[in-house]
Structure 1
Amino acid sequence: MDVRTTSALWAPRILSVLRIVAALIFLEHGTQKIFGFPAHPNPPAISSLSGIAGFLELVGGSLLLIGLFSRPVAFLLSGEMAFAYFIAHAPKSPFPVLNGGDAAILYCFVFLYIAFAGPGPWSLDASRQRSSADYL
């Protein structure tokens, strides 16, 4: 196998790995805000901005983890992270390393990439697509 063949074979799979790992880490933010796990002694009220963000992170992270409705969910979560950056982080400092917003920026662009590139082959979306192709 040459480099192009290996890349063509593994690039979609690594896209799935990126989606799964990002979703797992993102999901933890939701569980922290909604369930207080891990280590959040005072979870926010569900009706607060932080509570709504936690709900989006919990549900959206779960859907991305399994790869269901990946494109619209990733697009929504990308917007959530852009909103979070400009509302919670940017006012503190113009430098992401100082305002704590570097993770929000990374999530924003990883999710935006997934919204356009798709979930990869290891996803329920891909499985549903293969199933519907069998009926055609």
Structure 2
Amino acid sequence: MSARLNSAQPYALGLFRIVIGLLFAVHGAASLFGVLGGATGTGGTVDAGTWPGWYAAVIQLVAGGSVLLGLGTRGAALIASGSMAYAYFDVHQRAALWPIQNGGEPSVLFCWAFLLLVFTGSGAFGIDRLLARRTVTAGEPAAEQAPLAA
């Protein structure tokens, strides 16, 4: 049983990456374009150039899309994780210490999910894996490559 679970790990990680990236990108799209209820839940958007809301939304859209596609996953995840740490400590923790008290649970969860992706990489189904396979020279094994989905 353990061997089967281990062999499925790159695929589970790839699906995890896709879901986290999609959810993060949707937050950015909602804030920037007012889709899906917008930044305020009423279709509103954040004003262009405002700190930190507009910059956070751009990071969410771009880094989330990059993580979703598995393109530059580790770098995008590092930026996304840092932005969520900033959001938690600058915005939420002012209200109360614990995330359950200050509404910061999404920020904490995104921060740790992205930090995990910094260390694990994209898993299966990512553009990173396709590009890594193309850059490997003939006869030279690629380190830590997950198989591509069939």
Gaps of 5+ in 1: none
Shift, 1:46, TM fit: 2.2
Residue 60 of structure 1 corresponds to which residue in structure 2? 63
- The CA RMSD over aligned residues, in Å, is 1.2
Percent sequence identity is 31
Task: Letter of the 1:58 partner, please give it.
Answer: L
In the alignment of these two chains, the number of paired residues is 134
Tell me if 1:44 matches 2:42.
Answer: no
Instruction: Give the conservation status (yes or no) of the 8 Å contact 2:37–2:44.
Output: no
Residue 14 of structure 1 corresponds to which residue in structure 2? 12
Matches within 5 A, 1:1-136: 3-40=1-38, 41-48=43-50, 49-134=52-137
Task: Letter of the 1:25 partner, please give it.
Answer: L
Shift, 1:87, TM fit: 1.1
Gaps of 5+ in 2: 141-150
Q: Which has the higher helix share?
A: 1
Q: Which runs of 4+ in 1 moved over 3 A?
A: none
Shift, 1:96, TM fit: 0.6
